[in-house]
Amino acid sequence: AQTVTQSQPEMSVQEAETVTLSCTYDTSENNYYLFWYKQPPSRQMILVIRQEAYKQQNATENRFSVNFQKAAKSFSLKISDSQLGDTAMYFCAFMSPRNYGGSQGNLIFGKGTKLSVKP
Amino acid sequence: ETGVTQTPRHLVMGMTNKKSLKCEQHLGHNAMYWYKQSAKKPLELMFVYSLEERVENNSVPSRFSPECPNSSHLFLHLHTLQPEDSALYLCASSQVVRDEQYFGPGTRLTVT
């Protein structure tokens, strides 16, 4: 079965500094998608960044970038120049594009990392 | 309204009540999802609908009954719930099943 592990339940960072959130996953698939979602306190979950496993280049979205290590099954999120608005729960998620065990397109989430950005 | 909306945002119900959660997506997507988010647990996928047909039912108890009358609307009918069903219920949609998902704000459900 596919699993996603986020080993850091909570993290904090000073405003304007850089922080890296860890995520590892387990799969026997060769092609799949990985996502980072952000859920601010009492607000909507939004997609931060997406990575296709067949792409070697790490995805970036403004201050957010990933370090995708396919062999190690690692997918960490780096937030540069942290802002107070980055305070949120961050969820790593995995999706297999195939109809895997009847679960096509299912997002499998980690337990999340609570990030606090301090002024 | 834009994106994915959910009503009500908060719901308190007794164990013998019947209530419904509503989700509406304004993105022209063809797939919709219900998730359960409990404290200290990963999001749990409950149901998946693609083109108004249910394609996934992750062993959810029958006291949860989904309904998808069209590709823009998704309901979750609730009856005789248990206190452990208290959670945040999230709706999501995607263009197709194997695409990135966009989430609604959720309904915070408390079962007393």
Residue pLDDT, tens place only, B5-55: 999 999 999 888 899 999 999 999 999 999 999 987 888 889 989 887 777
The Cα–Cα gap between A72 and A50 comes to: 18
- Best B29, B99, B101 member to test A by mutation, with max A CBs in 10 Å, is B101
pLDDT of residue A29: 85
Residue pLDDT, tens place only, A27-65: 988 889 999 999 998 788 999 999 999 988 999 999 999
Residue A6: pLDDT above 80?
yes
- DSSP H or E stretch at residue A88: strand A88-95
Contact residues on chain A for B3, CB-CB shorter than 8 A:
44
Contact residues on chain B for A109, CB-CB shorter than 8 A:
42-43
Residue A103: pLDDT above 60?
no
| Mean predicted lDDT score pLDDT of chain B | 90
A50 near B CB under 8 A: yes
Residue B8, min C-alpha distance to chain A (Å): 14
User: In one letter, which amino acid is B21?
Assistant: L
Residue B100: pLDDT above 90?
no
Q: Is the dihedral of CA A87, A114, A8, A93 positive or negative?
A: negative
Residue B98: pLDDT above 90?
no
pLDDT band per the 50, 70, 90 thresholds, residue A90: very high
The shortest CB-CB distance from B97 to any of A50, A104, A110 is to: A104
A83 and A15 Cβ atoms separated by less than 8 Å: yes
Contact residues on chain A for B98, CB-CB shorter than 8 A:
95, 97, 104-105
Residue A99: pLDDT above 60?
no
Residue A17: pLDDT above 90?
yes
pLDDT of residue B1: 54
| Mean predicted lDDT score pLDDT of chain A | 91
Instruction: Give a three-class secondary structure readout of A53-75.
Output: CCCCCCCEECCEEEEEECCCCEE
pLDDT of residue A102: 47
Residue pLDDT, tens place only, B39-51: 878 888 899 898 8
pLDDT of residue A100: 44
pLDDT band per the 50, 70, 90 thresholds, residue A104: low
A69 and A77 Cβ atoms separated by less than 8 Å: no
E strand spans, B1-112: 4-7, 10-13, 18-25, 31-37, 44-50, 53-57, 64-70, 73-79, 87-94, 102-103, 107-111
pLDDT of residue B25: 97
How many Cβ pairs closer than 8 A exist between chain A and B?
48
Q: Which long-range contacts (CB under 8 A, 24 or more apart) does B12-17 make?
A: B12/B109, B12/B110, B12/B112, B13/B78, B13/B81, B13/B109, B13/B110, B13/B111, B13/B112, B14/B111, B14/B112, B15/B80, B15/B81, B15/B82, B15/B83, B15/B111, B15/B112, B16/B80, B17/B78, B17/B79, B17/B81
Question: Is the Cβ pair A104, B31 closer than 8 Å?
Answer: no
Question: Is the Cβ pair B48, A46 closer than 8 Å?
Answer: no
